[in-house]
Amino acid sequence: MGKRNFYIILSLGVFLTVSLYLYNGIETGAEAIAKRQQYVDELRRKIGSLEQVAEQNGKTIDRLEQQVRQVKVEKSVDFDEDKDKTEEKEQEQEVAPVPVRGNRGNEGMAHIHQVQKHHKPTPPMTDICNIRENISVAHSDLQMLDLYDTWKFENLDGGVWKQGWKIEYDAVKVKALPRLEVIVIPHSHCDPGWIMTFDEYYSRQTRNILNGMAKHLGEKDEMRFIYAEISFFETWWREQSEETRKKVKGYLEAGKLEIVTGGWVMTDEANAHYHSMVTELFEGHEWIQNHLGKNAIPKSHWSIDPFGLSPSLPHLLTSANITNAVLQRVHYSVKRELALKKNLEFYWRQLFGSTGHPDLRSHIMPFYSYDIPHTCGPEPSVCCQFDFRRMPDGGKSCDWGIPPQRITDENVAERAQMIYDQYRKKSQLFKNSVIFQPLGDDFRYDIDFEWNSQYENYKKLFEYMNSKSEWNVHAQFGTLSDYFKKLDTAISESGEKLPTLSGDFFTYADRDDHYWSGYFTSRPFYKQLDRVLQHYLRSAEIAFSLANIEEEGMMESKVFGKLVTARRALSLFQHHDGVTGTAKDHVVLDYGQKMIDALNACEDVLSESLVVLLGIDSTKKMEMDEKRVNENLLPEKRAYKVGQNVVLFNTLSRNRNEPVCIRVDSVDAGIEAEPPVTKQQISPVIEYNEESKKLVVKDGVFELCFLASLGPMESVSLKLVKSTTTSKSEIRTNSKIQVDSSFKSSSVGNGDFIVQNDKVKAEFDGENGMIKKATSLVDDKPIDLNSHFVHYGARKARRKFANGNEDNPAGAYLFLPDGEARELKKEENEWIVIEGDLVRRVFATPMNDLKILQTYTLYQGLPWIDLDNEVDVRSKENFELALRFSTSISSNDEFFTDLNGLQMIKRRRQTKLPTQANFYPMSAGVYIEDDASRMTIHSAQALGVSSLASGQIEIMLDRRLSSDDNRGLQQGVRDNKRTVAHFRIVIEPMSPTSSNKKDERVGFHSHVGHLATWSLHYPVVKMMGETTPKSIASKNLEQELNCDLHVVTFRTLASPTTYEANERSTAAEKKAAMVMHRVVPDCRSRLSLPDTSCLTSGIEIEPLKLISSLKSARQTSLTNLYEGQKSEQFKLQPNDVSSILVSF
């Protein structure tokens, strides 16, 4: 025992020494003081705990040693102290104050305005693989995956609080407690499309809501209002007089009106890709900055309706300097469990930990909904009586049959006691003596009656409650900022610390076994269109910014106006009833048409910009290589004519050497370029005939593939000429298809067959053409894939649950299968293999009934297999189609899904939960692995995914449902279309895992994995150009960036919009935001990159060297609301998404 105590004391000494060294070495300034205090408080707590358990706990030494190692890691990525002090002093002189809070320390000081430091610590490049080891554990107090393992998820009847329990309090003891502060927050949740289109909602309701805000905030001194959706606010603003605009700005300055979150929409968090989340947030914030000014800059996040919550959004929000959040749609059992231990308020920490990344202080509303019956307290029948819009003259009523009463001198005592009782019960669920009541619902405050009745009646209630000293309560109208300021004070006075929490809040259930996993897949046609627009908008943004720099800011404003239109169309669709597929049919069509218009706008911007970059004297617009006849059909490929130019644009910041394929009008076509294109291949075009359900050869059109070598963000114009040297593909098939005599063709039987390139080999089922095995040629170890289609029926039987609730059928939101999936009967069908020097494709039609076309593609030099699935489920009813892979990988009950394309999260199959609970959103990818192998499926669209057995991946493809699921849409999902889904399969041999893998709750793609998803989402842009005398190339970046750096977008800033005669015009600034993402690779993969040159590039970003004509660069907050100092070199923390503002 003596020897053990000696080692304990020694370890404590080492720990204290290193900690004090850090304490003295970290940065100075107000922010640093807060951080030091946090660290000291945490250190004292740990030491006290160690002293108590030293003799009893034999594992103390191991824990201390681990903590010392962590401290050393943190120190290794710290700032240079002297340089940091200089930078901080400079920033204090030129950077606008920024609200910054600490993670764990004195929360009472959390929101003092301080200067934010923008240069973040970056590990040296040589430690890149160690970074992944050091940021794989969040070190949070609450970890959602672990909690799911322990919670029972019992669906109990809690009484008046149906999903909770009977809350009680001691009316005498509350007198001695800190005074209960109640902030009542009027709000109106305005969906930019759902039951009505955006324009219908605006003209019928939202215009009236904002008109009422402008009127009543001026008439009512104590009234307050918060608002979130800038898409509606901008539409309203353009109609207003200067007098009204000045008045509204006054409300913002006085704190009577608050903009919360400030995005273009309240984004979905399951299907939305982080690029589009950044786009919609930036669009809203830029408009706020240009038109409302600094008093409107959002400080808090308001997410009350998205159906499940992702930590990706907090990561982006904190990068934009938003420090608080209110959340609503969280699984009812999760709410109950958190409430039991008063953990509904917490610091939301990223899965990769808090080093260099602030946590987001978050508040989860405890009850069922954000409407007034479910926000004042646990008893909705009581709370509904305090929604004064539901009085007889308001046009609404209470579902519980007891209407509100107008507050008078005669009833105020009774009514005040009723709502005070609800407030007091609600406060029992929180650690501190501050609560808020959202006072609103969907599209509220659209009539004067509501503004007047809510204000007048609550004022009387407040006055009475506040006069009752024995109640020890103070209630008032306020904004979200008012609430968090009160919370700061309460935390400072009580010393009560909030816990940290890591993980996500999927999959959401609002009651019973009603899991909202259906919307992960609903309307997949539009989910795919969303990513097409994302790609072309990003391409247009980058091309325009580069061209505008080339033209010294003189690009035409009408071109920039088209870019703004496209930004707003993509941003609008990120709404939580847009990309989710949960709107009315005619609203979906409206979204679709807006996206088609945006695609056309992007085509115009790309044409104008590439003409500038390539120096082409052209009067004819260039066209994309594909066109869309209307919004509900798949695109058609255009065929290039011999004599035209092929314009290519690489939007990635790294070199690309890969095959590019186009349609041409001649079998004797080829590319002429300088230097010459060394490899070219011509093939027949295979299509699916929906009437005959057969594969056919398209007459008069061929596919030309050639090896393109493109520098970072390089654009080139190549000439399409007659050529007899282009190699011709060979065809083998089990069908009787007729192929052009120019190609060698052979018929074979139905035996299994193999297709391979120099990196990967694939084996296919000879009867139906579906993939069976894949082998990476790195280790030559076959992995069984055994792909097949399965389907679910929709639960029809209506029943009552044990708690008395009625069941609902499946619909747009809910996935409620009628049992386990059933495998679709395999059919003997035709397949065709086309093989050439560059590209090898397999076309298969495994299911005639569903008109399925599968196309597998292997590109020379690339270690993956592309899979395109075309399906049509319109012949079915109450039918949900999935593609399942049953592999030989021993993944047990674990798998990893992405969160918004930004990060990978570990999932664990929960056998205690139903099938629908085990499906998760897949925005961009999923993988399973064992110690030797990993299989990743990258996805170019959002869909639902699960792993229901070891080695299995199941991806939902489409769903057709005849019933409404009683979540407000009032219809099923029957507007299906022929839909395509693009996937990329990567098989990776893996080196042995790290020792702490069992503790990890986060995953990382390899270098190859990151390239696979970026190149899938952002393929080389192909456009048709006019004839030019020779090939042209435009090298737009002087050097490529490191492999771990990704340009999310390169966005030219907008000047304030000019509104004249209800028309708007927006000019481009001579500034652009380069939004960067630094990823972390998993170095265990044994696959190597096709081009490794980016590995030798430094991790630093030097914009003035990348683009020589730039004048200056400075780092800013994500959406450019806060600016840092000028610099020539920038370093990003691993996993950072950050902006660099360049001027030209």
- Say how far residue 99 (Cα) sits from the centre of its chain: 24
Of the candidates 423, 429, 430, which has an alpha carbon nearest to the alpha carbon of residue 461? 423
Beta strands in 213-356 (DSSP E): 225-227, 257-259, 300-303, 324-327, 345-349
Residue carrying the six token digits 């042209």 = 1032
Bond preceding residue 675 cis, omega within 30 of 0: yes
Helix segments in 26-105, DSSP class H? 30-53, 60-76, 81-94
Neighbours of 486 (CB within 10 A): 21
Distances (CA, A) of 304 to 39, 223, 238, 326, 327: 33, 21, 27, 7, 5
Neighbours of 123 (CB within 10 A): 18
Distances (CA, A) of 210 to 295, 577, 744: 18, 22, 69
Rounded-to-integer distance, Cα 335 and Cα 378, Å: 13
Active site residue 807: no
Structure tokens belonging to residue 409: 């001198």
Q: In the 3-class helix/strand/coil scheme, how is 443-484 assigned residue by residue?
A: CCCCCHHHHHHHHHHHHHHHHHHHHCHHHCEEEEECCHHHHH
Residue 463 CB partners (closer than 8 Å, separation 6+): none
Rounded-to-integer distance, Cα 867 and Cα 936, Å: 13
The residues pairing with 225 across neighbouring beta strands, listed in sequence order, are 257
Residue 1084 CB partners (closer than 8 Å, separation 6+): 990, 991, 992, 993, 994, 1006
Which of 84, 268, 305, 930 is catalytic? The answer is: 305
Helix (H, G, I), strand (E, B) or coil at 658: strand
Rounded-to-integer distance, Cα 68 and Cα 72, Å: 6
Query: What is the per-residue burial (b if ≥16 Cβ within 10 Å, else e) of 60-71?
Result: bbeebeebbebb
Residue carrying the six token digits 């962590």 = 70
Q: Any idea what DSSP says for residue 205?
A: I
Rounded-to-integer distance, Cα 300 and Cα 313, Å: 13
Helix (H, G, I), strand (E, B) or coil at 367: coil
Rounded-to-integer distance, Cα 847 and Cα 957, Å: 14
Structure tokens belonging to residue 958: 């489409």
Distances (CA, A) of 901 to 480, 938, 942, 1020, 1134: 30, 10, 10, 19, 16
The residues pairing with 707 across neighbouring beta strands, listed in sequence order, are 659
Helix (H, G, I), strand (E, B) or coil at 571: helix
Rounded-to-integer distance, Cα 1028 and Cα 718, Å: 9
Structure tokens belonging to residue 226: 């918060």
Residue 779 CB partners (closer than 8 Å, separation 6+): 989, 1086
Q: Any idea what DSSP says for residue 961?
A: B
Structure tokens belonging to residue 99: 């609200």
Helix (H, G, I), strand (E, B) or coil at 83: helix
Contact between 1107 and 1038 under an 8 Å Cβ cutoff? The reply is yes
End-to-end CA distance of the chain: 70
Neighbours of 971 (CB within 10 A): 17
What residue type is 827 in one-letter code? Answer: E
Of the candidates 619, 720, 718, 617, which has an alpha carbon nearest to the alpha carbon of residue 668? 720
Helix (H, G, I), strand (E, B) or coil at 270: coil
Contact between 500 and 346 under an 8 Å Cβ cutoff? The reply is yes
User: Active-site residue numbers?
Assistant: 305
